[in-house]
Amino acid sequence: MTERYSLAKERIEEIITESKGLGIYSPFFESLAKFTKGLLDIYEDVKSNGNLGNHSLEELEERNKFLYSELTDKYASSFLNPDYAYEVLGENGKFLSALFAEIHGMIPYVFEVDLEEIVIRLELLLEFYSTIKNALDDNEEVKSDSLKDILYYYVFDYTEDESVKRIGKQLTIDNAYANNIIEHYDLTDVRTLYAFGEYVGKNEIETFKVLAELDEDTIALMSSTFTEGFKRGFVVSKKDMSKKKTVNLRYRLGFERVAKKSIEEFRAMGLESVIYRAGYDIFSRMGIFKAGYYGGLANPQYDEDHKEDMSLVLDGHLVTRRIEGIKAAYEELKEEATLFAGPACMEIFGEDSFEPAECVHAARYGSAKQDLIRDYRVKASEITNTYIKREERSFSIIAWPIPAIGRYAEILPEIIKVNTLPVDTYQKIQQTIIDTLDKSDYIHVVGNNGNETDLKVSLAVLNNPETETKYENCLADVNIPLGEVFTSPVLKGTEGVLHVKEVFLNDLKFKNIKLTIKDGKISEYTCTNYDDEKKNKEFIEENLLFHHPTLPMGEAAIGTNTYAYALAKRYDIFNKLPILIAEKMGPHFAFGDTCYSNEESVRVFNPDGKEMIAKENGEPYTYCHTDVTIPYDELGLLEAVANDGKAVSIIENGRFVLAGCDELNKALDTI
């Protein structure tokens, strides 16, 4: 590898000047070679002197600026931008833009000093270069099929190795790069942020500084709410955590003090925290959705533009190869998979909303490859659930604001309060709602204030109302904050229209999303993100349906966290809240799998002792689950209705009217 590295580096340095004779391809290879040389200079510095070395803060800032300037200052005229690449390079631009993205995805391996990962990408660059240079030297056309083949066999050859490495980083602490920084570096020195190799922006710096000044008790409260919620997930579902040894700890840069405290608390429970980096390359990139730890989003448009680069080469053989790679990886790591307890996720919110611009030449699966990618995702999830059994693991998830939200010193303590509301109070109120719902056959939801929702949701039948319930009483365990009751609806008879004027799903803004439901499944869909109706449908297909022709309603819930809603209104931050909090601020309906997928056999009991029996919808697994929430101020009526037509109102005009729920209106009355 060392020899291959030296040869590749020398050749890439020659390209900087040699590429000037390549016609329209000259600026591309000159730009890419210069960027790659800069990466390799940083690699050799990190290898010799460590990830911070003796660099000043100013030097580290300058290094970070170089690493991400193609995504920030230069993106409009960068070959990382698929539209610009197409404008300059024509049809071949999409493959060369994907190549640049793969080289850019080498940044983590530079800081982790992973020579093998660096070498295979350098050799990919050189193979592209040689193919184009040879064609031009022979006065031949540079064929897209030739470039496609290079990328195809790169993915084909390395997919099993990449799967083993990626899954290994998720299940073991053998390569715990981030753990070492969090546990052993100075968490009051902002230079520490630059040790990760992630993009460091204003939000990461300000968050780090604010948390550095918080007292230990506040840090402990933020951490324990999160770690104890993870533990309660095992207790509530009667799972044995003593058999587990590892937990994924996922977080965003800036929250290192909370992460460090969480490591300590999980360790006291007998769990070692595995902190792995979010995906960067063609094998693991997932757009703006990040699973793992990560820094700031230097440019979410870039993440959106390259999230489906795999579509450039995907075919049935490659799907089979990738599935075989995942299975081989889990087989190699099956003992580690058995010891894995689940993910513990700290999300962030507060950044300006992201509305992706249309990138005409971004790689997309489209209708031709929807079946392939859906097949791959389903099979990959099935393999994962075979080795990491959902009925034996749990999770927890919590969200914290960052300074971009504004008035941070006021809002952070308020969100801490949202995340630590009194369980006893909500348990009693939510049980009152459940008692009413258990006597009904369906719920009827109607919008107001411009919301066009008119939806009927059928509910399960209780065979023994004395011991069974249709709804789970969701308190502050795995899903923090508390504040909802939820069920898996009966699909037959569930019908109508679900409409929300503005909602954020998977960190993407949807305007006037309207879903028509028939027998519990989406039959029609639209939104107003674009002027072109076709683009609106494609946007929903990519980011809600995930290329399924339809999705069933997997969850119907009523959010009760009016404190969070009032807070959002008071500070005008409703459009910045994550779905984790937003779903608790009104009725919400999830499309995809139920909350109990792969765990239907696990018995679940509410605090009153009744067993939750509505856990299935009879549909095959889709391996997706996206919540769409109607906020209180768009809600005209939510009523529980029996087959004889007797209806009991739970919410009218955005206020709880069911007896015993008055406490929830106190927060709403402060708006």
| pLDDT tens-digit map of 452-471 | 999 999 999 999 999 999 99
Whole-number Å distance between alpha carbons of 587 and 640: 13
Query: Please, which residues bridge with residue 625 across strands?
Result: 592
What pLDDT sits at residue 221? 94
Instruction: Scan for tokens 């069933």, then name that residue.
Output: 552
Whole-number Å distance between alpha carbons of 294 and 279: 9
Q: What number is the average pLDDT over the span 276-303?
A: 94
Position 237 pLDDT exceeds 90: no
Take residue 144 and report the two structure tokens written for it. Answer: 């897209």
**Position 213 confidence tier, pLDDT thresholds 50, 70, 90:** very high
Rg (CA), the chain: 26
Position 601 pLDDT exceeds 90: no
Q: What number is the average pLDDT over the span 48-74?
A: 97
Kindly report the pTM of this predicted structure: 0.88
Q: Which residue has the higher pLDDT, 133 or 175?
A: 133
Please work out, in degrees rounded to the nearest 5, the angle formed at the alpha carbon of residue 95 by the alpha carbons of 92 and 97: 105
Position 35 pLDDT exceeds 80: yes
Work out the percent of the chain whose per-residue pLDDT is above 90.
90
Q: What number is the average pLDDT over the span 395-412?
A: 95
Amino acid at position 457, single letter:
V
Which residues, other chains included, contact 505 with Cβ-Cβ below 8 Å and sequence gap of 6+? 513, 543, 544, 579, 626, 627, 628
**Position 240 confidence tier, pLDDT thresholds 50, 70, 90:** very high
3-class secondary-structure state, position 627: strand
Q: What number is the average pLDDT over the span 576-585?
A: 90
Whole-number Å distance between alpha carbons of 372 and 311: 10
Query: Please, which residues bridge with residue 590 across strands?
Result: 555, 627
Give one DSSP letter per residue of 282-335, joined into a string. TTT--TT---SBB---S-HHHHHHTTTGGGGT--HHHHHHHHHHHHHHHHHTHH
What pLDDT sits at residue 354? 82
What pLDDT sits at residue 370? 85
Dihedral-angle region of residue 542 (phi above 0 means left; psi in -120 to 50 means alpha; beta otherwise): alpha
Average pLDDT across the chain, whole number: 95
Q: What number is the average pLDDT over the span 47-53?
A: 96
CB-CB contact of 246 with 274 (8 Å)? yes
CB-CB contact of 83 with 94 (8 Å)? no
**Position 390 confidence tier, pLDDT thresholds 50, 70, 90:** confident
**Position 599 confidence tier, pLDDT thresholds 50, 70, 90:** confident
CB-CB contact of 368 with 374 (8 Å)? no
What per-residue string of b and e applies to 560-573 under the rule 16 or more CB within 10 Å gives b?
bbbbbbbbbbebeb
**Position 376 confidence tier, pLDDT thresholds 50, 70, 90:** very high
Maximum pairwise Cα distance, the chain: 83
Whole-number Å distance between alpha carbons of 45 and 113: 10
Distance of CA 277 to the CA centre of its chain: 13
Of 629, 650, 632, 628, residue with least CA distance to 641: 650
Q: Which of 13-22, 60-69, 270-279, 597-606 has the lowest mean pLDDT?
A: 597-606
Q: Name the H helices within 528-605.
A: 533-543, 562-571, 579-582
What pLDDT sits at residue 506? 79
Q: Sign (positive/negative) of CA torsion 121, 127, 128, 130?
A: positive
CB-CB contact of 341 with 244 (8 Å)? yes
What pLDDT sits at residue 363? 96
What pLDDT sits at residue 598? 83
Give the strand pairing for 484-487 and 472-474: antiparallel
Position 246 pLDDT exceeds 90: yes
What number of other Cβ atoms are within 10 A of residue 492's Cβ? Answer: 11
For residue range 477-506, what is the model confidence (pLDDT) as tens digits? 888 999 999 999 999 999 999 999 999 887
Whole-number Å distance between alpha carbons of 375 and 610: 38
Asked whether the bond before 108 is cis by omega within 30 degrees of 0, the reply is: no
Of 441, 439, 335, residue with least CA distance to 388: 335
CB-CB contact of 404 with 254 (8 Å)? no
Position 185 pLDDT exceeds 80: yes
Instruction: Scan for tokens 């290898």, then name that residue.
Output: 47
Q: Which residue has the higher pLDDT, 484 or 574?
A: 484
Q: How does DSSP classify residue 78? A: S
**Position 125 confidence tier, pLDDT thresholds 50, 70, 90:** very high
CB-CB contact of 617 with 553 (8 Å)? yes
For residue range 426-447, what is the model confidence (pLDDT) as tens digits? 999 999 999 999 999 999 999 9
